[in-house]
Amino acid sequence: MIRRILFLALFWLSALPAFAALDIREVVSPGGIRAWLVEAHDIPFTALEIRFKGGTSLDLPGKRGATVLMTSLLEEGAADLDAQAFATRREALAASLSFDAHEDAVEVSARFLTENRGEAAALLKSALTEPRFDGEAIERVRAQILSIIQSNGKDPDHIAGDRFRALAFGDHPYGSSDMGTLDSVGGLGRDDIVAAWSNAIARDRLFVGAVGDISADELGLLLDELLGALPAQGAAMPAVTRPALTGGVTVVPFDSPQSVVVFGHEGIARDDRDFFTAFVLNQILGGSGFSSRLMDEVREKRGLTYGISSFLVTRDLANTWQGGFASANEKVAEAVRVIVDQWRAAAGGGITDAQLDAAKTYLTGAYPLRFDGNSRIASILAGMQTDGLPIDYVVNRNSYIEAVTIDDVRRVAGRLMQPDNPRFVLVGHPDGLSTTD
């Protein structure tokens, strides 16, 4: 019966009201823990998303990969349950618990039935507050991560991303893969894992989103029981930085008939007054779909790639404006020239009203599609909080897009776009291109 209820819960995830009708409430637990809640009592199921800001950026010097390894071990046994017993207990409760880490946060996702809410929360609490970090589990998970690192080292997409990060951020945590290296992960001991846990999992960096069959009062009590015993403070956040990128080309030799390319320069902060204008501008230049200028010029008119995109990368500690594509070695030099030309044309004000209208239509029309179920909405609620957005952002977001004018776009293009400064990292053997200073 439990399995059937869970199946129905997952099947009806899309049954929530349209995003504009979401009633998002701020809940403050008796113990002072804050969360955002959308109640949905159609099915006896709740999705809970927890974010701990800091993430893999909190890795200590020489210990790169510790936070990823630690997070991967949180479901490998806790309190008096070893890895197998923990998995068996989770399965018996028909609960879903997952843990992830990236450069700005450790993320915890929980899905549980109303009838098992207390027991599922107790299991999750044990993982967060009493992880075992058993030797056998450490070595097994370490081996899995090392295998992924080895595989990534042979993947041109990963190689390009790693080199771009290194050029942009150097010794800053953003400058290297959060999974670490073969040497750094191989050298991690249990004490390093425990240190990563105590640095990252704390109440002073906590954000929670909840959606489903739970009231505000019930959520408040759950938050205190689940998270109230966590340490009050974690490690200090790393320093804010800026990408140290200069214009030019970096070629990483790789035997392949095509080159993988990552390019970019400094971007814009999420809380900058011009962010939404930059967001619309990026959609015009290289955003989703086939109507962007880069897709039109690089793919449609010249057939230099199957696909190309650009995107604003907004992080807690630094921001970049990046893009990427792949092209045959004999065509990639022309593709780079076209991109620079398009960057320069846009920076010079060459955006049309028609392009602006098309971008607005796409961005406002696509936004409601994100709200397609309890789990997705809970994640959005947690993400809004970590980004410092207001609780009414969901309702007002499209109006921010609609308010962008052609004058705004041209002004912000002149402010942010740096046609002489994109750094192109090419992994392959591109004809006619070599590394520049």
Q: Do residues 173 and 238 touch, judged by C-beta distance below 8 A?
A: yes
* Closest residue by Cα to residue 281 from 290, 268, 271: 268
Q: Which domain holds residue 342?
A: 248-428
CATH of the domain at 58: 3.30.830.10
Same domain, residue pair 59 and 110:
yes
> What is residue 370's predicted lDDT score, i.e. its pLDDT?
87
Same domain, residue pair 71 and 136:
yes
pLDDT means over runs of 10, the chain (437 residues): 41 44 93 97 96 98 97 97 97 97 98 97 98 98 98 98 98 97 98 98 97 98 97 95 96 98 97 97 91 94 96 97 98 98 95 96 92 93 96 95 98 96 97 93
437 occurs within a structural domain:
no
Strand-pair partners of 72: none
> What is residue 161's predicted lDDT score, i.e. its pLDDT?
98
Ramachandran region, residue 58 (left: φ > 0; alpha: ψ -120 to 50; beta: rest): alpha
Rg (CA), the chain: 23
Torsion of CA 29, 33, 34, 37, to 10 degrees: -50
Same domain, residue pair 148 and 7:
yes
Helix (H, G, I), strand (E, B) or coil at 28: strand
Work out the number of other CB atoms within 10 angstroms of the CB of residue 215. 13
> What is residue 372's predicted lDDT score, i.e. its pLDDT?
85
Same domain, residue pair 277 and 218:
no
Number of independent structural domains in the chain: 2
Same domain, residue pair 123 and 271:
no
Angle, alpha carbons 424-100-200 (nearest 5°): 100
389 occurs within a structural domain:
yes
* Length of the chain (residues): 437
259 occurs within a structural domain:
yes
How many Å apart are CA 263 and CA 418, to the nearest integer? 12
How many Å apart are CA 117 and CA 382, to the nearest integer? 20
> What is residue 175's predicted lDDT score, i.e. its pLDDT?
97
124 occurs within a structural domain:
yes
Same domain, residue pair 206 and 333:
no
